[in-house]
């Protein structure tokens, strides 16, 4: 049993165990009477009445209730008699079942994990319900996923981002239909399973970021709906707007951000994941529909209460949990999302970058070389919010980008044969741009072994492909090692310095210079060929003369037998001789030194100098 005292339990919400009993507290301002009924009183309808206090809160203290006891609240409002799951329940039997008394105590065994800085992160987004191997048997999803941590460690990613885990309706889901937002999905392994998962992930060196959904609840299996029997306009009652502000793309279930008790409910939920589960950050699903009624930036559609709520949460997280990361999925490239609260923003550390993913996907999916927009690719590489590229999360695949009418990049490139040469070359080209551009790079589960089709919450990853395309997995691993400067020769890929110094639309050639502080072992040159034609004797400027080492050639046939292995090896960059330069020019691409290189089709070359 928890060591919480009876006095402190009285101030909390939900079912709070303490030595000697369990305190129950619920908000139901329109109820005329409230009772707690459960397995501990043989589901008696009235043996444990609750007392009402100011603000519509109800409280009772029940002795000798064991951990694991099931319960519900019985609310009376006129002729309505309602049996409700506790809104603050940490555990439920299922989304339409009973709440379960859960002891929040857990042995974290000295867990003091800290995220790496944002410029040294590579995020791996996963859906817990499908990440597992189909042959793992009857293990819960948390345990199945833990068996893959060694694989992720070898891949090199260092932050796991989980799609929502709050209890949802049914047995399978993406997770964006939360029914009981404080409870961990019972079919995944419940609260204890998640705590064990986070502890093991931290011990293995992974940060854990959790996706949370506050723009709507439900809409199915939702005991919050008309919770205490009151509503207006036939809508959701005390937890929801009951007017035009209720409308979202997912139903009339937008929480009432202006109601103090609802704001507290959402705030308590966000802090619970950080406090009780030790997660290292939260990714706020579609914050656009928290700050706005519609999916646009029309000032007339904004919800000031939602904007203020996000700012209040980010401020408190920064004060109480320094080092934890808040990410917004806003997708409107609004710089205010990642501005500090005192400067008029919402205070999130980073946001998903729609201005990156869309032009990059378009550039590699387009069948015709003539239609590839190098200006679009350049804009994606150079994008930043508030002059900081690490305020953006960049990716070519996410759960949204590979479903809802869209598919994996390889399948978009070649729907008939997603394993074709073109699909392999151009999907890895997109990934290479993700992992060499400034920003926080993110992969979506399975893209590293050419998972095809589209994301479905009923279809596990095809792990056989990790063997079939082991060469591509190696390419991702090599890219991540360079991105995180594991060998000490590509520090520039962790920096914010960027100069896109070469753009040749006619030949579909692009090159950019990355640096952290600059100099040998820091400066990195990335050369990109977005054409099906190889380029021979192609002259490019380099930041400095001397020997430049080839750190990666994405056309290496060790990555795929169909690749051509066309690339210049290490190059010697020479100062330019004005007498030999056209028009007497002393620079190439703005640099005083240059070299000629060879690059394969749809390929990326990465060069740097030894320290």
pLDDT at residue 374, rounded to an integer: 98
Paired sense of beta strands 350-352 and 392-394, if any:
parallel
Which H/E stretch holds residue 537? strand 535-542
Tens of pLDDT along 405-416?
A: 999 999 999 999
Residue spans per domain, the chain: 6-100, 118-483, 499-608
In the three-class reduction of DSSP (H, G, I as helix; E, B as strand; rest coil), residue 99 is classed as strand
Task: Read off the pTM.
Answer: 0.96
* Token representation of residue 303: 């919800």
Q: Distance between CA 166 and CA 211 in Å, rounded?
A: 9
CATH for 499-608 is 2.60.40.1180
d(CA 126, CA 163): 6
Q: What is the DSSP letter of 92?
A: E
Give me the residues of the chain with pLDDT under 70, please: 1-10, 134-138, 578-586
- Rounded distance, CA 593 to CA 576, Å? 5
First to last CA, the chain: 57
What does the alpha-carbon distance between residue 446 and residue 473 come to, in Å, rounded to a whole number?
9
Judge if 6-100 and 118-483 fold alike in CATH terms.
no
**CA-CA distances (angstroms) from residue 502 to 375, 508, 515, 520, 536?**
11, 10, 16, 21, 16
Q: What is the model's pLDDT at position 432? A: 98
Pick the CATH number of 6-100 from 3.90.280.10, 2.60.40.10, 3.40.50.10860, 1.10.10.60: 2.60.40.10
> Cα–Cα–Cα angle for 474, 478, 481, nearest 5°?
135
The residue with tokens 């043996």 is: 47
pLDDT tens, position by position, 417-464:
999 999 999 999 999 999 999 999 999 999 999 999 999 999 999 999
Domain 118-483 = CATH 3.20.20.80 = yes
Residue whose entry in the numeric block shows the structure tokens 């809104």: 87
């Amino acid at each position: 049993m928890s060591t919480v005292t009876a006095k402190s339990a009285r101030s909390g919400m939900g079912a709070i165990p303490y030595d000697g009993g369990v305190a129950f507290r619920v908000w139901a301002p329109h109820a005329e009477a409230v009772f707690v009924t459960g397995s501990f009183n043989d589901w008696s309808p009235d043996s444990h009445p609750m007392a009402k206090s100011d603000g519509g809160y109800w409280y009772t203290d029940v002795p000798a209730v064991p951990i694991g006891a099931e319960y519900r609240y019985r609310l009376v409002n006129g002729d309505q008699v309602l049996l409700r799951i506790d809104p603050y329940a940490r555990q439920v039997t299922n989304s339409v079942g009973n709440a379960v008394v859960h002891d929040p105590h857990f042995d974290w065994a000295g867990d003091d994990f800290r995220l790496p800085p944002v410029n040294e992160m590579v995020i791996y987004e996963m859906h817990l319900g499908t990440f597992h191997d189909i042959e793992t048997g009857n293990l819960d999803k948390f345990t199945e996923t833990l068996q893959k941590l060694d694989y992720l460690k070898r891949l090199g990613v260092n932050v796991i981002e989980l799609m929502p885990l709050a209890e949802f309706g049914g047995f399978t889901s993406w997770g964006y239909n939360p029914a009981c937002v404080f409870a961990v999905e019972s079919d995944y392994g419940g609260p204890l399973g998640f705590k064990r998962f986070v502890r093991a992930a931290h011990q293995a060196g992974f940060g854990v970021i959790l996706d949370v959904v506050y723009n709507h609840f439900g809409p199915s299996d939702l005991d919050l709906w008309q919770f205490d029997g009151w509503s207006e306009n036939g809508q959701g009652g005390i937890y929801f707007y009951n007017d035009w502000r209720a409308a979202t793309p997912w139903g009339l279930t937008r929480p009432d951000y202006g109601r103090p008790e609802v704001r507290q409910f959402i705030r308590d939920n966000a802090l619970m994941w950080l406090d009780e589960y030790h997660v290292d950050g939260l990714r706020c699903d579609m914050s656009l529909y928290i700050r706005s009624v519609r999916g646009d930036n029309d000032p007339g559609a904004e919800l000031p209460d939602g904007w203020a709520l996000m700012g209040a949460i980010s401020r408190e997280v920064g004060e109480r949990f320094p080092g934890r990361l808040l990410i917004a999925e806003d997708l409107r490239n609004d710089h205010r999302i990642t501005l500090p609260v005192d400067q008029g923003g919402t205070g999130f550390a980073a946001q998903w970058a729609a201005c990156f993913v869309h032009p990059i996907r378009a550039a590699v999916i387009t069948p015709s070389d003539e239609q590839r927009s190098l200006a679009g690719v350049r804009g994606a590489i150079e994008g930043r919010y508030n002059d900081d590229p690490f305020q953006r999360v960049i990716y070519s695949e996410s759960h949204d980008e590979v479903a809802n009418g869209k598919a994996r990049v390889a399948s978009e490139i070649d729907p008939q044969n997603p394993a074709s040469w073109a699909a392999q070359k151009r999907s890895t080209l997109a990934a290479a741009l993700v992992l060499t551009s400034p920003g926080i790079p993110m992969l979506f589960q399975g893209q590293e072994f050419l998972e095809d089709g589209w994301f479905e919450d009923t279809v596990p990853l095809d792990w056989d492909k990790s063997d079939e395309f082991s060469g591509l997995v190696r390419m991702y691993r090599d890219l991540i090692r360079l991105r995180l400067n594991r060998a000490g020769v590509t520090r520039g890929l962790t920096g914010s310095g960027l100069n896109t110094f070469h753009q040749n639309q006619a030949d579909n050639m692009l090159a950019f210079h990355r640096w952290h502080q600059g100099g040998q072992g820091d400066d990195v040159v990335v050369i990109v060929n977005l054409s099906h034609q190889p380029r021979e004797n192609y002259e490019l400027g380099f930041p400095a003369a001397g020997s430049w080492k080839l750190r990666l050639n994405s056309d290496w046939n060790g990555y795929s037998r169909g690749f051509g292995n066309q690339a210049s090896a290490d190059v010697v960059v020479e100062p330019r001789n004005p007498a030999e330069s056209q028009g007497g020019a002393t620079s190439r691409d703005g640099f005083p030194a240059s070299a000629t290189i060879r690059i394969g089709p749809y390929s990326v070359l990465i060069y740097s100098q030894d320290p």
